[in-house]
Amino acid sequence: MGETLLEVKNIVTEFRTADGQLPAVRDVSFSLNKGETLCIVGESGCGKSITSLSVIGLLPSNGKIASGEVLYEGEAINKYSPEQMRRIRGNKISMIFQEPMTALNPVLTIGFQLREPLMLHEKLSKNEATKKGIELLKKVGIPYPEKRMNQYPHELSGGMRQRVMIAIALSCNPGLLIADEPTTALDVTIQAQILDLINDLKNDYHMGVIMVTHDMGVVAEVADRVMVMYAGKKVEEGTVEEIFNSPKHPYTIGLLNSVPNVDDPDFELEAIPGSLPSLNDEIIGCRFQDRCKFASEKCRSQEPPEFNISSSHIASCWLEEEGELRWQS
Protein backbone atom coordinates (compact mmCIF):
# COMPACT_ATOMS: atom_id res chain seq x y z
CA MET A 1 0.00 0.00 0.00
CA GLY A 2 0.90 3.66 -0.10
CA GLU A 3 3.07 5.68 2.18
CA THR A 4 2.54 5.94 5.91
CA LEU A 5 0.46 8.89 6.97
CA LEU A 6 0.05 8.39 10.66
CA GLU A 7 1.93 6.30 13.12
CA VAL A 8 0.86 5.87 16.68
CA LYS A 9 3.48 4.27 18.89
CA ASN A 10 2.69 2.78 22.29
CA ILE A 11 0.44 5.56 23.49
CA VAL A 12 -0.85 5.51 27.02
CA THR A 13 -3.58 8.04 27.73
CA GLU A 14 -4.35 8.74 31.35
CA PHE A 15 -7.04 10.68 33.14
CA ARG A 16 -6.52 12.47 36.41
CA THR A 17 -9.49 11.67 38.63
CA ALA A 18 -10.40 11.67 42.29
CA ASP A 19 -9.33 8.02 42.40
CA GLY A 20 -5.90 8.73 40.98
CA GLN A 21 -4.57 8.24 37.48
CA LEU A 22 -6.86 6.16 35.30
CA PRO A 23 -5.35 4.74 32.14
CA ALA A 24 -8.02 4.73 29.43
CA VAL A 25 -5.72 3.72 26.61
CA ARG A 26 -3.02 1.22 27.46
CA ASP A 27 -0.07 0.94 25.17
CA VAL A 28 -1.78 1.08 21.80
CA SER A 29 0.13 1.23 18.51
CA PHE A 30 -1.13 1.37 14.96
CA SER A 31 -0.37 3.01 11.67
CA LEU A 32 -2.38 4.33 8.75
CA ASN A 33 -1.47 4.74 5.11
CA LYS A 34 -2.66 7.42 2.74
CA GLY A 35 -5.97 6.54 1.12
CA GLU A 36 -6.68 3.84 3.66
CA THR A 37 -9.60 3.41 6.07
CA LEU A 38 -8.86 2.02 9.51
CA CYS A 39 -11.82 1.15 11.69
CA ILE A 40 -11.44 1.10 15.44
CA VAL A 41 -14.15 -1.10 16.94
CA GLY A 42 -15.12 -2.02 20.44
CA GLU A 43 -17.84 -1.48 22.98
CA SER A 44 -18.45 1.75 24.84
CA GLY A 45 -15.72 2.42 27.35
CA CYS A 46 -13.06 0.43 25.52
CA GLY A 47 -11.01 3.53 24.77
CA LYS A 48 -11.68 3.82 21.04
CA SER A 49 -12.86 7.42 21.16
CA ILE A 50 -10.07 8.42 23.54
CA THR A 51 -7.54 6.91 21.14
CA SER A 52 -8.84 9.08 18.32
CA LEU A 53 -9.02 12.18 20.53
CA SER A 54 -5.41 11.55 21.56
CA VAL A 55 -4.38 11.65 17.91
CA ILE A 56 -6.05 14.96 17.21
CA GLY A 57 -5.07 16.44 20.59
CA LEU A 58 -8.56 17.12 21.84
CA LEU A 59 -8.42 15.26 25.14
CA PRO A 60 -10.44 16.72 28.01
CA SER A 61 -8.42 18.93 30.36
CA ASN A 62 -7.87 16.14 32.88
CA GLY A 63 -6.52 13.73 30.29
CA LYS A 64 -3.08 13.54 28.76
CA ILE A 65 -0.87 11.26 26.75
CA ALA A 66 1.39 9.88 29.46
CA SER A 67 3.81 8.14 27.13
CA GLY A 68 4.17 7.15 23.52
CA GLU A 69 4.25 9.07 20.28
CA VAL A 70 1.84 10.22 17.60
CA LEU A 71 3.66 10.75 14.31
CA TYR A 72 1.84 12.56 11.53
CA GLU A 73 3.90 12.47 8.33
CA GLY A 74 6.89 11.69 10.51
CA GLU A 75 6.41 14.57 12.94
CA ALA A 76 5.66 13.97 16.59
CA ILE A 77 2.52 16.04 16.89
CA ASN A 78 1.85 15.03 20.47
CA LYS A 79 4.80 17.27 21.43
CA TYR A 80 3.35 20.28 19.62
CA SER A 81 2.31 23.38 21.51
CA PRO A 82 -1.43 24.17 21.58
CA GLU A 83 -0.75 26.95 19.06
CA GLN A 84 0.98 24.58 16.62
CA MET A 85 -1.73 22.01 17.12
CA ARG A 86 -4.40 24.57 16.31
CA ARG A 87 -2.77 25.15 12.94
CA ILE A 88 -2.96 21.46 12.11
CA ARG A 89 -6.40 20.76 13.47
CA GLY A 90 -9.14 21.41 10.93
CA ASN A 91 -6.43 21.86 8.36
CA LYS A 92 -4.40 18.68 8.02
CA ILE A 93 -6.36 16.57 10.49
CA SER A 94 -10.12 16.95 10.74
CA MET A 95 -12.71 15.26 12.81
CA ILE A 96 -16.40 14.44 12.45
CA PHE A 97 -18.34 13.81 15.63
CA GLN A 98 -21.30 11.64 16.44
CA GLU A 99 -23.74 14.40 17.29
CA PRO A 100 -23.73 16.99 14.56
CA MET A 101 -26.14 19.11 16.58
CA THR A 102 -23.75 19.51 19.49
CA ALA A 103 -20.72 19.93 17.26
CA LEU A 104 -22.28 22.78 15.28
CA ASN A 105 -22.81 26.13 16.94
CA PRO A 106 -26.56 26.72 17.12
CA VAL A 107 -26.36 30.53 17.05
CA LEU A 108 -24.14 30.83 13.98
CA THR A 109 -25.21 30.26 10.39
CA ILE A 110 -23.95 27.29 8.41
CA GLY A 111 -22.16 29.76 6.16
CA PHE A 112 -20.25 31.36 9.02
CA GLN A 113 -19.13 27.99 10.34
CA LEU A 114 -18.07 26.85 6.88
CA ARG A 115 -16.14 30.03 6.13
CA GLU A 116 -14.28 30.04 9.42
CA PRO A 117 -11.71 27.30 8.71
CA LEU A 118 -11.24 28.52 5.13
CA MET A 119 -10.48 32.07 6.24
CA LEU A 120 -8.27 30.92 9.10
CA HIS A 121 -6.22 28.20 7.45
CA GLU A 122 -6.38 29.00 3.75
CA LYS A 123 -6.39 32.77 4.27
CA LEU A 124 -9.27 33.25 1.84
CA SER A 125 -11.29 36.45 1.75
CA LYS A 126 -14.90 36.31 2.87
CA ASN A 127 -16.18 36.27 -0.70
CA GLU A 128 -13.84 33.53 -1.79
CA ALA A 129 -14.69 31.52 1.30
CA THR A 130 -18.40 31.85 0.56
CA LYS A 131 -17.87 30.59 -2.96
CA LYS A 132 -15.76 27.67 -1.76
CA GLY A 133 -18.34 26.94 0.95
CA ILE A 134 -21.14 26.66 -1.59
CA GLU A 135 -18.98 24.37 -3.67
CA LEU A 136 -18.33 22.16 -0.65
CA LEU A 137 -22.01 21.94 0.22
CA LYS A 138 -22.70 20.89 -3.35
CA LYS A 139 -19.98 18.29 -3.10
CA VAL A 140 -21.54 16.67 -0.02
CA GLY A 141 -24.90 16.55 -1.77
CA ILE A 142 -26.87 19.33 -0.10
CA PRO A 143 -29.62 20.77 -2.29
CA TYR A 144 -29.92 24.59 -2.61
CA PRO A 145 -26.47 25.30 -1.11
CA GLU A 146 -26.81 29.09 -1.53
CA LYS A 147 -29.89 29.07 0.66
CA ARG A 148 -28.30 26.78 3.26
CA MET A 149 -25.40 29.15 3.80
CA ASN A 150 -27.75 31.57 5.57
CA GLN A 151 -29.60 28.95 7.59
CA TYR A 152 -28.99 27.83 11.15
CA PRO A 153 -28.25 24.24 12.21
CA HIS A 154 -31.70 23.68 13.73
CA GLU A 155 -33.29 24.25 10.33
CA LEU A 156 -31.59 21.16 8.91
CA SER A 157 -32.33 17.48 9.45
CA GLY A 158 -29.87 15.14 11.16
CA GLY A 159 -28.50 13.77 7.90
CA MET A 160 -28.08 17.28 6.49
CA ARG A 161 -26.25 18.44 9.60
CA GLN A 162 -23.87 15.53 9.33
CA ARG A 163 -23.24 16.50 5.71
CA VAL A 164 -22.47 20.05 6.81
CA MET A 165 -20.05 18.67 9.42
CA ILE A 166 -18.34 16.66 6.70
CA ALA A 167 -18.17 19.71 4.45
CA ILE A 168 -16.53 21.72 7.26
CA ALA A 169 -14.13 18.88 8.04
CA LEU A 170 -13.09 18.61 4.40
CA SER A 171 -12.86 22.32 3.70
CA CYS A 172 -9.07 22.50 3.92
CA ASN A 173 -8.33 19.21 2.13
CA PRO A 174 -7.14 17.34 5.20
CA GLY A 175 -4.76 14.42 4.91
CA LEU A 176 -6.42 12.60 7.77
CA LEU A 177 -10.09 12.44 8.63
CA ILE A 178 -11.17 11.06 11.98
CA ALA A 179 -14.82 10.07 12.12
CA ASP A 180 -16.11 9.20 15.58
CA GLU A 181 -19.34 7.21 15.19
CA PRO A 182 -20.42 9.45 12.30
CA THR A 183 -23.60 7.54 11.54
CA THR A 184 -24.71 6.19 14.91
CA ALA A 185 -27.33 8.91 15.41
CA LEU A 186 -28.73 8.51 11.89
CA ASP A 187 -31.34 6.24 10.33
CA VAL A 188 -30.18 3.37 8.14
CA THR A 189 -31.19 4.94 4.85
CA ILE A 190 -29.37 8.16 5.77
CA GLN A 191 -26.46 6.16 7.19
CA ALA A 192 -26.01 4.48 3.81
CA GLN A 193 -25.88 7.88 2.12
CA ILE A 194 -23.29 9.24 4.56
CA LEU A 195 -21.06 6.14 4.41
CA ASP A 196 -21.04 6.27 0.61
CA LEU A 197 -20.23 9.96 0.77
CA ILE A 198 -17.27 9.47 3.10
CA ASN A 199 -15.99 6.67 0.89
CA ASP A 200 -16.29 8.71 -2.32
CA LEU A 201 -14.60 11.71 -0.75
CA LYS A 202 -11.81 9.53 0.61
CA ASN A 203 -11.04 8.41 -2.92
CA ASP A 204 -11.31 11.94 -4.33
CA TYR A 205 -9.02 13.50 -1.74
CA HIS A 206 -6.82 10.45 -1.18
CA MET A 207 -7.25 10.88 2.58
CA GLY A 208 -6.51 8.50 5.37
CA VAL A 209 -9.65 7.83 7.39
CA ILE A 210 -9.91 6.59 10.96
CA MET A 211 -13.46 5.50 11.65
CA VAL A 212 -14.47 4.81 15.21
CA THR A 213 -17.57 2.67 15.47
CA HIS A 214 -19.24 -0.13 17.37
CA ASP A 215 -21.29 -1.32 14.41
CA MET A 216 -19.74 -4.37 12.77
CA GLY A 217 -21.93 -3.83 9.70
CA VAL A 218 -20.45 -0.39 9.13
CA VAL A 219 -16.96 -1.82 9.57
CA ALA A 220 -17.49 -4.48 6.92
CA GLU A 221 -18.82 -1.81 4.61
CA VAL A 222 -16.04 0.79 4.79
CA ALA A 223 -12.89 -0.59 6.37
CA ASP A 224 -9.64 -1.65 4.73
CA ARG A 225 -8.13 -2.59 8.06
CA VAL A 226 -9.71 -3.12 11.45
CA MET A 227 -8.41 -2.66 14.96
CA VAL A 228 -10.41 -4.24 17.77
CA MET A 229 -10.06 -2.71 21.22
CA TYR A 230 -11.08 -4.08 24.57
CA ALA A 231 -10.76 -2.33 27.94
CA GLY A 232 -8.13 0.11 26.71
CA LYS A 233 -6.02 -2.42 24.85
CA LYS A 234 -5.71 -3.43 21.25
CA VAL A 235 -6.67 -7.09 21.13
CA GLU A 236 -6.63 -7.76 17.41
CA GLU A 237 -5.72 -6.02 14.19
CA GLY A 238 -5.92 -7.17 10.61
CA THR A 239 -7.37 -6.55 7.19
CA VAL A 240 -11.12 -6.47 7.04
CA GLU A 241 -11.19 -9.92 5.40
CA GLU A 242 -8.95 -11.42 8.07
CA ILE A 243 -11.05 -10.00 10.90
CA PHE A 244 -14.39 -11.09 9.46
CA ASN A 245 -13.39 -14.40 7.88
CA SER A 246 -10.85 -15.71 10.36
CA PRO A 247 -11.08 -13.78 13.61
CA LYS A 248 -8.62 -15.07 16.18
CA HIS A 249 -9.22 -13.30 19.46
CA PRO A 250 -12.16 -14.75 21.43
CA TYR A 251 -13.45 -11.21 21.97
CA THR A 252 -13.56 -10.47 18.25
CA ILE A 253 -15.31 -13.78 17.67
CA GLY A 254 -17.79 -12.98 20.43
CA LEU A 255 -18.41 -9.53 19.00
CA LEU A 256 -19.15 -10.96 15.57
CA ASN A 257 -21.44 -13.60 17.04
CA SER A 258 -23.51 -11.09 18.96
CA VAL A 259 -24.60 -9.15 15.88
CA PRO A 260 -27.75 -10.69 14.41
CA ASN A 261 -27.36 -11.31 10.71
CA VAL A 262 -30.17 -9.93 8.57
CA ASP A 263 -29.57 -12.39 5.75
CA ASP A 264 -29.42 -15.54 7.81
CA PRO A 265 -32.69 -16.67 9.41
CA ASP A 266 -31.04 -19.51 11.33
CA PHE A 267 -28.40 -17.33 12.90
CA GLU A 268 -27.82 -18.28 16.52
CA LEU A 269 -27.02 -15.31 18.68
CA GLU A 270 -24.19 -15.92 21.09
CA ALA A 271 -23.82 -13.44 23.88
CA ILE A 272 -20.56 -12.65 25.65
CA PRO A 273 -21.29 -13.16 29.35
CA GLY A 274 -20.54 -10.43 31.88
CA SER A 275 -19.58 -6.86 31.16
CA LEU A 276 -16.54 -4.68 30.56
CA PRO A 277 -14.17 -4.32 33.54
CA SER A 278 -13.93 -0.80 34.91
CA LEU A 279 -10.92 1.31 33.96
CA ASN A 280 -9.24 1.24 37.34
CA ASP A 281 -9.48 -2.53 37.76
CA GLU A 282 -5.96 -3.82 37.89
CA ILE A 283 -6.16 -7.16 36.17
CA ILE A 284 -3.27 -9.57 36.22
CA GLY A 285 -2.96 -11.35 32.93
CA CYS A 286 -5.33 -10.93 30.02
CA ARG A 287 -7.98 -8.23 30.46
CA PHE A 288 -10.63 -10.38 28.79
CA GLN A 289 -10.12 -13.46 31.02
CA ASP A 290 -13.33 -13.12 33.07
CA ARG A 291 -15.55 -13.20 30.00
CA CYS A 292 -13.52 -15.64 27.94
CA LYS A 293 -14.60 -19.26 27.71
CA PHE A 294 -11.11 -20.38 26.71
CA ALA A 295 -9.35 -18.71 29.63
CA SER A 296 -6.62 -20.89 31.12
CA GLU A 297 -4.12 -20.58 33.96
CA LYS A 298 -1.71 -18.75 31.73
CA CYS A 299 -4.31 -16.10 30.88
CA ARG A 300 -4.78 -15.36 34.55
CA SER A 301 -1.11 -14.92 35.32
CA GLN A 302 0.55 -13.40 32.27
CA GLU A 303 -0.55 -10.71 29.91
CA PRO A 304 -0.52 -12.00 26.33
CA PRO A 305 1.87 -10.20 23.97
CA GLU A 306 1.00 -9.50 20.35
CA PHE A 307 1.29 -12.56 18.16
CA ASN A 308 1.68 -12.22 14.41
CA ILE A 309 -0.62 -14.54 12.53
CA SER A 310 0.23 -13.12 9.14
CA SER A 311 2.10 -10.03 7.98
CA SER A 312 -0.99 -7.91 8.59
CA HIS A 313 -2.84 -9.87 11.26
CA ILE A 314 -2.03 -9.46 14.94
CA ALA A 315 -3.84 -10.90 17.94
CA SER A 316 -3.10 -10.56 21.64
CA CYS A 317 -4.22 -13.90 22.92
CA TRP A 318 -2.29 -16.85 24.31
CA LEU A 319 -4.25 -19.16 22.02
CA GLU A 320 -2.37 -17.67 19.09
CA GLU A 321 1.06 -18.50 20.41
CA GLU A 322 1.14 -21.48 18.10
CA GLY A 323 -0.42 -19.49 15.30
CA GLU A 324 2.64 -17.29 15.22
CA LEU A 325 5.00 -20.26 15.12
CA ARG A 326 2.98 -21.71 12.28
CA TRP A 327 3.19 -18.49 10.32
CA GLN A 328 6.92 -18.09 10.87
CA SER A 329 7.81 -21.61 9.82
Residues 156-175: x where in contact with other proteins by CB under 8 A, - otherwise, as a string: -xxxx---------------
Kindly provide the residue ranges of all beta strands, DSSP E only, lying in the chain, ordered along the sequence: 4-17, 20-33, 37-41, 63-72, 75-76, 93-96, 176-180, 208-213, 225-230, 233-239, 307-308, 314-315
273 binds other proteins (CB under 8 A): yes
Per CB under 8 A, the segment of 31-39, 55-63, 128-136, 211-219 that binds other proteins is 211-219
179 binds other proteins (CB under 8 A): no
Least distance to other proteins, CB of residue 220, Å = 5
- Give the phi and the psi of residue 99 in degrees, each rounded to 5: -105, 95
From 14, 36, 221, 237, residue interacting with other proteins (rule: CB under 8 A):
221
Q: For residues 170 and 5, give the distance between their C-alpha atoms in angstroms, rounded to a whole number.
A: 17
284 binds other proteins (CB under 8 A): no
- Helix, strand or coil for residue 81? coil
Least distance to other proteins, CB of residue 216, Å = 4
- Give the phi and the psi of residue 189 in degrees, each rounded to 5: -65, -35
- Give the phi and the psi of residue 191 in degrees, each rounded to 5: -55, -45
From 216, 229, 299, 309, residue interacting with other proteins (rule: CB under 8 A):
216
195 binds other proteins (CB under 8 A): yes
Least distance to other proteins, CB of residue 27, Å = 23
Span between the terminal Cα atoms of the chain, in Å: 25
71 binds other proteins (CB under 8 A): no
Identify which of residues 4 and 261 has a Cβ nearer to other proteins in the complex.
261
Q: CB-side exposure of 11: number of CA atoms within 13 Å?
A: 29
Q: For residues 245 and 44, give the distance between their C-alpha atoms in angstroms, rounded to a whole number.
A: 24
20 binds other proteins (CB under 8 A): no
Q: Which residues bind other proteins (CB under 8 A)?
A: 43-44, 157-160, 187-193, 195-196, 214-221, 240-241, 244-245, 254-263, 265, 267, 269-273, 275-276
